[in-house]
């Protein structure tokens, strides 16, 4: 594989994105190909601000509707930096001969920050100029399993509730049903290794 890829993992919280991203990175390294995991929110200044907001350590607005809108703007700004910064931006890394694996991309903004059709249109416009990844891997997981996994963590984030995750999963399903780019949907209840092998097969195509 000569062309370096921009690969995105999507799905609700605790669906296995991070685990599978790490396994895919190791797969590339074993094939003597350079690869890096570059998540969203990014590790940049705006990304760190978003992480603090998700943990509720900082609050922009107590009005949930306004909060979601503010987060949408921040995510878009962070995404631009994630893609185009001159130090470790996605396209700089690809130019430097790395496959870039991201856990979350603009699909997450559409899934998590859109409570109404009007907000979906607004956020879609915010992200319209961002390029599609070469491959999107959507790991679908039932809400009950997600919540059971999240309950084992020492802390939770603001979006990690049953009501929110139910809406997010519905949004994801609708987004990818209408998406024209290359996407594969994987059953997240399967064995970790089985999921990994399905991903490797898709990447090799």
pLDDT at 1: 64
pLDDT tier at 60, thresholds 50, 70, 90 = confident
**pTM recorded for the entire structure:** 0.93
Q: Is pLDDT at 197 greater than 90 in this prediction? A: yes
3-state secondary structure of 147: helix
6-10 and 183-187 strand pairing: unpaired
- The CATH-assigned architecture of domain 6-204 is 3-Layer(aba) Sandwich (3.40)
Mean pLDDT for the stretch of residues 164-175: 95
pLDDT at 61: 79
Q: Is pLDDT at 138 greater than 90 in this prediction? A: yes
Report which DSSP code applies to 154: S
pLDDT at 114: 86
């Amino acid at each position: 594989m000569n062309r370096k890829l921009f690969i995105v993992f999507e799905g609700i919280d605790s669906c296995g994105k991070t685990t599978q991203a790490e396994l895919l990175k190791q797969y590339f390294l074993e094939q003597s190909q350079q690869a890096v995991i570059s998540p969203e929110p990014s590790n940049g200044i705006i990304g760190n601000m978003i992480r603090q907001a998700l943990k509720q350590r900082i609050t922009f607005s107590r009005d949930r509707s306004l909060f979601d809108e503010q987060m949408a703007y921040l995510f878009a700004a962070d995404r631009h930096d994630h893609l185009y910064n001159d130090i470790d931006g996605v396209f700089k890394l690809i130019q430097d001969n790395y496959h870039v694996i991201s856990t979350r991309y603009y699909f997450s903004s559409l899934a998590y920050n859109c409570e109404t059709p009007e907000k979906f249109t607004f956020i879609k416009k915010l992200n319209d100029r961002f390029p599609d990844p070469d491959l999107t891997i959507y790991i679908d997981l039932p809400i009950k399993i997600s919540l059971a996994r999240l309950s084992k963590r020492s802390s939770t984030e603001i979006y990690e509730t049953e009501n929110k995750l139910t809406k997010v999963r519905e949004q994801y399903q609708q987004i990818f049903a209408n998406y024209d780019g290359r996407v594969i949907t994987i059953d997240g209840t399967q064995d970790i290794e089985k999921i990994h092998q399905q991903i490797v097969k898709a990447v090799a195509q």
